[in-house]
Amino acid sequence: MITTLFKAEDRGSADYGWLKPNYYFSFSNYHNPSRIHFGALRVLNDDFIAGGGAFPTHPHDNMEIVTIPFTGALQHKDNTGGQGIIKAGDIQIMSAGTGILHSEANASATESVTLFQIWLFPKVKNITPRYDQRTFDIADRNNQWQIVVSPREEDEALWINQDARFALTNLATGNSIDYKNAFEGNGVFLVVINGSVEVDGNVLNKRDALGITETNQFTIKANADAELLAIEIPM
């Protein structure tokens, strides 16, 4: 098992007033040659969007884009007719495929939004663009993995055009949980949304992440109540 630590304080950042992002990988004006991607995971932005803030209509192509909100509500519109408002407990996915135009806006003029926006390289290029979102019961991830994104029908998750899987758990202090790969040989990018955990001797605190490769199973122990995201991706 090989691990690579991504400390929260080492991320890139910016302040646009209405938007305050933190970048795990090179993005926009932040460039770090040692942080370009992790396997098929190209972008993981930890965003704060102030009330009334919005990304105007802009294009994407050949990228799988997953949005996970934590507070507030985000409104999406695209030129395929896809639209919706997502909030905590919801997951959104967009396959940009051959090309899509979309906008994202804080649904409130006063309340802020916090979220992860995650981009993966697709398995198959130039598919027909698509949009989907789903509400998940947060209680179903207490001390167990809740699969929210997967190409496998048996996972009952949002479909993704990649051999990748997104899983969330809320792990109580002192509890341990194993993660087992859905696809042999994949890596896992484990992010501590909140709390503190230990993996293979690495202590991870809020917004720290750990890249894990060359193993198909590992154990996580919660040093404090922890909210975790495991992104399993081809390397």
**């199973």: which residue's tokens?**
217
- Range 175-178, long-range pairs (CB < 8 A, 24+ positions): 175/143, 175/221, 175/222, 176/219, 176/220, 176/221, 176/222, 177/143, 177/144, 177/145, 177/219, 177/220, 178/217, 178/218, 178/219, 178/220
Q: Is 214 exposed, middle or buried (0-12, 13-18, 19+ CB in 10 A)?
A: exposed
Is the pLDDT at 57 greater than 90? The verdict is: no
Task: Give pLDDT tens digits for 115-155.
Answer: 999 999 999 999 999 999 999 999 999 999 999 999 999 89
DSSP string spanning 70-106? EESEEEEEETTS-EEEEETTEEEEEE-TT-EEEEEEE
Single-letter residue type at 71: T
Q: How confident is the model at residue 32 (pLDDT cuts 50, 70, 90)?
A: very high
Is the pLDDT at 225 greater than 90? The verdict is: yes
Question: Please, what is the end-to-end C-alpha distance for the chain in angstroms?
Answer: 14
Query: In the chain, which residue ranges form alpha helices assigned H by DSSP?
Result: none
Model pLDDT, residue 82: 82
- pLDDT, average across residues 204-223: 98
CATH superfamily entry for domain 11-135:
Jelly Rolls (2.60.120.10)
Instruction: Count Cα atoms within 13 angstroms, Cβ side, for 82.
Output: 21
Cα(232)–Cα(213) distance, integer angstroms = 10
**């997953």: which residue's tokens?**
66
Q: What is the pTM of this model?
A: 0.96
Cα(49)–Cα(149) distance, integer angstroms = 24
Listed by start position, the domains of the chain span: 11-135, 138-233
Model pLDDT, residue 121: 98
Domain 138-233 is found in CATH 3.40.50.720: no
Q: Do domains 11-135 and 138-233 have the same CATH topology?
A: yes
Cβ neighbours of residue 92 closer than 8 Å, sequence gap 6 or more: 66, 67, 68, 74, 76, 84, 86, 131, 132, 133
Cα(196)–Cα(202) distance, integer angstroms = 11
What is the phi/psi pair of residue 94, to 5°?
Answer: -135, 125
